[in-house]
């Protein structure tokens, strides 16, 4: 039997999703990220199509590497303005009943006592549909505005992250016992105080002696998402993540990353099925392959090469302004820092052929390192099916090129094909987001470190 | 002409609103604070009744003074569990068009860069209907769980608060010029980078060099609420608040506090009409005075004396367990700290008569220091009208005794009387929350310090 392909749709509370220039097409949609109506309509559409969830990205700073400043990013609307994504959740929850709602929150600039409360509150309000994409943030501009001279050093950010999660797990899993809240009117007991416990956490980064402020929510711990691609990031994902987002484009890389994280996860006593893997794809669909090709040609006319170089510069940590492809290659080859995955990818691409800067920009322009697939509904479904079979991935994070149009095309044209082939669900299973994804209980499995604090 | 009485309804994301024991009546409502449906129904009801706004209180710790621990508060559901109130806003906004949405956020345990973003995001999503109740937090248990040994000393908390607001004002008012976001497709300019500015804040408590993450929202700065009653708290309100909540019960105290804050506000160059004052009232309404009296007698049967002593203990900072009224009087008379207003009030009450502890508890049991009025719709409307005339207040913060029942009674029985008399609005004015309250522009008036950063 073919395994079911799980689908999360990716969005961000800003003008465009990693596609510089595309805010100009279609012209009416980019700014709608500030309107509740956009998010509520989107949630309804995704639930009608039986998507597993929506995934909201975020950033807490400006993309200011290119030309040594933020002007290109601001001009192009690249992650700027970028509003708080967590406040989209309650409105989307109010018009849906099943759709999973995963949101990015950085643990670098928040306190675990406050973040644990946010997530518990949202898990109550959504009746158990919350996922948390754990990020440690990677923008210097964010660090500076939160009062640090520069961002906390990469590896110690993850050490702090480990302890941050330990505090959250204690608050979510151990502070309030099942059955603590009794609402026993004859005995006039709302909560049994004997079943509410101090977590007494004393660590390197945090001291949290007290109790959680929220009663246990349906899932207690939100479904945990992670997307780290560095070595330390994959280690972190192997320990904590239940869903892992991958930016790998090729079958080989995807397969490698999945095996690597699964192998690391074993060290922590976790089982093979405990982590689901979601590579990103960006479908461009037409009724026929020709129509799809015409569509992407139309999109390409809106593409901004400058904007793409600005995006790439921030991702790699290298100011690409004025660089030749050769200089870029030399720089990358001689550089050990930056984002390992992206720099590796660039290096390999450079070995295969002599890219121009424009071509490099185009390569990255669509889908934000996602795997862009162009074609008829049947072709896209074929690709998705074979990619899953070849890589062992569990589903996809679906990126888009144009707001509203891309997802509407996919829902109306590709979803019916996938459903007819039995590749995606046609009905929702009852239960929480975790139950829907894993078919086990609402809470964390026993093998997860959060269940062992 | 009689001035229009403005109305905000008070709620909290926890089982009861300062009325210990009342979660047992009516039995089905206390736990609904975790359901979006409760908040959305409430918002619709308040908008039908043309309330100016809803005001969401909060607390970030346990009420653990009584008997030296938190058990009574937990047993009685007193501000525990208490979930994040900000996430109720988007769902309430989605089913209303005019209702103001004011929410409490502590500035003691948040960073201005994150808080400014929260408020701007919410102001966008609500199309300019956000108010922020600025609190500096007063619970030791909150301080400990955020990593402080004890809470920041009272006055320096306000100094930090002043600087916190200065940072927020710079982000909200100065970082993005009007017209910075142009979405000019022919010229491919989403935002004009020349109109987005670093705030370059270097202060005692915060360093924030960069730009705000959000584009200007309809109000830019949310409507600012404050409820501090200490001397330093009133000073803070005089400088920053546009709406001031008062816990004063008598005409004399209300009048005194309003005059005092207005006099202080003049020092900051603000005008008499720049601050609106909202004392708290808690109406208990029946078709007749007798029926209302029967209702409050029924409520009193649900009252918890223990719970009330726990609430009072946390408010005063004095563990009242085992205290006689005489000891309490002596303690208060010899004590300069604690909440100035409440301790003063207790001292005066003790001078008038010899209270029993039970009576003291009952005195405070209903309405959380609010002015409880019991009677027919006409009697309650009379009281409201004369209280406004005598004190110079601008409206009321409406507390409640039982969830849902109290506000439904008020909306269906008292609002029509107030509307017939022309004392409250029967239609909403167009515009933002600030425009509705003050009839001036969407943003801060020029006399406000936030407009002068």
**Arithmetic mean of pLDDT over chain B:** 89
Q: Determine, yes or no, domain membership for A399.
A: yes
What confidence tens digit (pLDDT) does each residue in B335-380 have? Answer: 433 334 445 555 566 666 676 777 666 666 555 656 788 999 999 9
- B351 found inside a domain: no
Is residue A331 domain-resident?
Answer: no
Task: Please tell me whether the peptide bond between A26 and the residue prior to it is cis, using omega within 30 degrees of 0.
Answer: yes
Task: Provide the CATH number for the domain around residue B142.
Answer: 3.20.20.30
Tokens of A376: 């008829």
Higher pLDDT, A349 or B4: B4
Bridge partners of A246, per DSSP, are A279
Interface test with chain A among B37, B90, B120, B214, by most A beta carbons within 10 Å: B90
Q: What's the rounded mean pLDDT across residues B394-408?
A: 94
A395 near B CB under 8 A: no
Interface test with A, best of B78, B85, B87, B220 (most A CBs within 10 A): B87
| Most confident of the ranges A257-261, B41-45, B154-158 | B41-45
Judge whether B89 is closer than 8 Å to chain A, CB to CB: yes
Question: For B189, which residue in chain A has the nearest alpha carbon?
Answer: A75
Report the pLDDT value the prediction gives residue A247, as an integer from 0 to 100: 78
- Contacts of residue A41, Cβ cutoff 8 Å, sequence gap at least 6: none
Residues of B within 8 A of A120 (CB-CB) are 83
Of B24, B89, B124, Cβ closest to residue A83: B124
pLDDT at A331: 59
What's the gap in Å between the CA of A241 and the closest CA on chain B?
25
Q: Which tens digit of pLDDT belongs to each residue from B5-37?
A: 999 999 999 999 888 999 998 877 999 999 999
User: Is residue A6 left, alpha or beta, with left meaning phi > 0 and alpha meaning psi from -120 to 50?
Assistant: beta
The beta-carbon neighbor of B75 closest among A77, A94, A190 is A190
Closest CA to B120 of B215, B243, B224, B242: B215
| Cβ–Cβ contact A204 with B under 8 A | no
Subunit contact B118:A70, Cβ cutoff 8 A: no
Chain B contact probe: residue of A113, A114, A190 with most B CBs at under 10 A:
A190
Q: Cα A275 to chain center, whole Å? A: 14
Yes or no, beta carbons of B89 and A87 under 8 Å apart = yes
Q: Is A342 on the interface with B (CB under 8 A)?
A: no
Tell whether B401 is covered by a domain. Answer: yes
Say what the pLDDT of residue A357 is: 73
What's the per-residue H, E or C state across chain A? Answer: CCCCCEEEEEEECCCCCCCCCHHHCCCCCHHHHHCHHHHHHHHHHHHHCCCCEEEEECCCCCCCCHHHCCHHHHHHCCCCCCCCHHHHHHHHHHCCCCCEEEEEEECCCCCHHHHHHHHHHHHHHCCCCEEEEEECCCCHHHHHHCCCCCCCCHHHHHHHHHHHHHHHHHHHHHCECCCCEEEECCCCEEECHHHECCCCEECCCCEECCCCCCCCCCCCCCEEEECCCCHHHHHHHHHHCCEEEECCCCHHHHHHHHHHHHHHHHHCCCCHHHCEEEEEEEEEECCCHHHHHHHHHHHHHHCCHHHHHHHHHHHHCCCCCCCCHHHHHHHHHCCCCCCHHHHHHHHHHHHHCCCCHHHHHHHHHCCCCCEEEEECHHHHHHHHHHHHHHHCCCEEEECCCCCCHHHHHHHHHHHHHHHHCCCCCCCCCCCCHHHHHHCCCCCCCCCCHHHHC
- Is B190 close to A77, i.e. CB distance below 8 A? yes
Q: How far is CA A266 from CA A158, A238, A248, in A?
A: 19, 8, 22
Cβ within 8 Å, pair B81-A304: no
User: Of A141, A185, A193, which is closest to B71 when you measure between CB atoms?
Assistant: A193
Number of folded domains in chain B?
1
Residue B221: per-residue pLDDT: 98
Contact list in B for residue A125 (CB cut-off 8 A) is 34-36, 87-88, 91
In this prediction, residue A71 carries a pLDDT of 97
Q: Can you tell me which residue has the tokens 């400088």?
A: B239
A70 Cβ under 8 Å from any chain B Cβ: yes
Residue entry with tokens 């940072």: B167
A141 contacts B83? CB cut-off 8 A? no
Tell me which chain A residues have a C-beta less than 8 angstroms from the C-beta of B93.
36, 91
Chain B stretch 316-335, residues whose beta carbon is closer than 8 A to a beta carbon of chain A: none
Report the chain B residue with the minimal C-alpha distance to residue A208. B145
Residue of B nearest to A23 (CA): B190
Question: How near does any CA of chain A get to the CA of B348, in Å?
Answer: 33
Q: Do the Cβ atoms of B209 and A145 come within 8 Å?
A: yes
Beta bridge partners of B285: B375
Q: Is B172 exposed, middle or buried (0-12, 13-18, 19+ CB in 10 A)?
A: buried
Count Cβ atoms within 10 A of the Cβ of residue A205 and give its class: 0-12 exposed, 13-18 middle, 19 or more buried: middle
Closest-CA residue in chain A for B63? A213
Sign of CA dihedral B242, B244, B245, B249: negative
**Residue of B42, B79, B213 to mutate when probing chain A, most A C-beta within 10 A:** B213
Interface test with A, best of B81, B180, B301 (most A CBs within 10 A): B81
Are B40 and A147 in contact (CB < 8 Å)? no
Contact B193 A147 (CB under 8 A): no
Tell me if chain A has a CB within 8 Å of the CB of B214. yes
Instruction: Report whether B321 contacts B31 (CB < 8 A).
Output: no
Question: Rg of chain B's alpha carbons, rounded to an integer?
Answer: 22
**A393 lies within 8 A of chain B by CB:** no
B76 contacts chain A (CB < 8 A): yes
The CA radius of gyration of chain A, in Å to the nearest whole number, is: 22
ipTM: 0.94
Chain B hits for A307, CB-CB cut-off 8 Å, are: none
Question: Between B110, B121, B304, which is nearest A87 by CB?
Answer: B121
Beta-carbon separation of B209 and A144 below 8 A: yes
Q: Which of A40, A125, A213 sits opposite B36 (nearest CB)?
A: A125
A contacts of B35 (beta carbons < 8 Å): 125
Dist. CA A158–CA A136, nearest whole Å? 7
Q: A432 vs chain B: nearest CA distance in angstroms? A: 15
A163 at the B interface (CB within 8 A)?
no
Any CB–CB contact under 8 A between A129 and chain B? no
Averaged pLDDT, B128-156: 82
The answer to whether A185 contacts chain B (CB < 8 Å) is yes
Per-residue confidence (pLDDT) for residue B342, from 0 to 100: 47
On whether any CB of chain A is under 8 Å from the CB of B144, the answer is yes
CA distance, residue A76 to nearest chain B CA (Å): 6
Q: What is the pLDDT confidence band of residue B328, given thresholds at 50, 70 and 90? A: low
* Binary contact (A91, B91; C-beta < 8 A): yes
Residue with structure tokens 């079979």?
Answer: A389
B35 touching A (Cβ < 8 Å): yes
Q: Which residue has the higher pLDDT, B119 or B349?
A: B119
A111 in a structural domain: yes
Whether A87 sits inside 8 A of B118 (CB atoms) is: yes
Residue A239 to chain B, least CA–CA distance (Å) = 26
CB pair distance less than 8 Å for A31 and B118? no
Domain carrying residue A417:
6-173+199-288+374-452
A89 touching B (Cβ < 8 Å): yes
* Domain annotation covers residue A242: yes
Residue B146: band (very low, low, confident or very high) from pLDDT cuts 50, 70, 90: confident
Mean pLDDT computed over B213-227? 97
Mean pLDDT by 10 residues, chain A (453 residues): 87 92 87 96 98 96 93 96 98 98 92 97 98 86 81 76 96 98 95 98 95 98 90 90 87 90 94 92 94 90 87 83 75 43 56 68 60 92 96 95 94 98 97 93 91 92
């Amino acid at each position: 039997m073919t395994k079911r392909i799980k689908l999360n749709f990716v969005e961000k509370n800003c003008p465009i999703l990693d596609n510089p220039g595309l805010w100009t097409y279609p012209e009416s949609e980019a700014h709608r990220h500030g309107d509740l109506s956009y998010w509520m309509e989107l949630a309804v559409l995704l639930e009608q199509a039986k998507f597993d969830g929506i995934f909201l990205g975020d950033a807490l700073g400006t993309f200011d590497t290119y030309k040594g400043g933020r002007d290109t990013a601001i001009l192009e609307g690249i992650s700027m303005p970028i509003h708080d994504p967590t406040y989209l959740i309650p409105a989307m929850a109010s018009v849906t009943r099943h759709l999973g709602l995963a949101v990015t929150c950085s643990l670098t600039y928040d306190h675990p006592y406050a973040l644990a409360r946010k997530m518990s509150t949202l898990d109550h309000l959504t009746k158990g549909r919350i996922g948390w994409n754990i990020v440690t943030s990677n923008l210097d501009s964010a660090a500076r505005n939160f009062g640090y001279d520069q961002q906390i050093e990469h590896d110690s950010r993850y050490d702090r992250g480990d302890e941050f999660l330990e505090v959250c797990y204690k608050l979510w899993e151990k502070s309030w016992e099942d059955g603590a809240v009794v609402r026993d009117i004859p005995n006039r007991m709302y909560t049994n105080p004997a079943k509410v416990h101090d977590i007494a956490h004393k660590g390197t980064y945090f001291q949290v002696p007290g109790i959680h402020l929220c009663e246990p929510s349906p899932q207690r711990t939100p479904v945990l998402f992670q997307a780290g691609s560095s070595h330390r990031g994959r280690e972190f994902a192997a320990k904590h993540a239940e869903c892992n987002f991958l930016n790998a484009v090729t079958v080989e890389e995807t397969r490698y990353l999945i095996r690597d994280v699964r192998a690391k996860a074993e060290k922590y006593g976790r089982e093979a099925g405990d982590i689901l893997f979601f590579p990103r794809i960006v479908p461009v669909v037409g009724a026929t392959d020709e129509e799809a090709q015409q569509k992407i040609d139309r999109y390409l006319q809106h593409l901004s090469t400058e904007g793409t170089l600005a995006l790439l510069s921030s991702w790699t940590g290298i100011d690409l302004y004025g660089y030749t492809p050769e200089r870029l290659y030399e720089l990358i080859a001689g550089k050990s820092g930056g984002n390992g995955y992206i720099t590796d990818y660039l290096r390999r691409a450079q070995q295969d052929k002599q890219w121009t800067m424009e071509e490099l920009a185009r390569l990255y322009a669509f889908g934000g390192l996602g795997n862009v697939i162009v074609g008829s509904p049947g072709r896209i479904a074929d690709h998705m099916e074979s990619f899953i079979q070849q890589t062992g991935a569990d589903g996809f994070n679906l990126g888009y090129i144009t707001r509203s149009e891309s997802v509407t095309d996919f829902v109306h044209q590709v979803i019916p094909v996938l459903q007819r082939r039995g590749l995606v669900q046609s009905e929702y299973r009852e239960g929480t987001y975790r139950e829907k994804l894993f078919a086990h209980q609402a809470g964390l499995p026993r093998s997860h470190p959060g269940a062992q604090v």
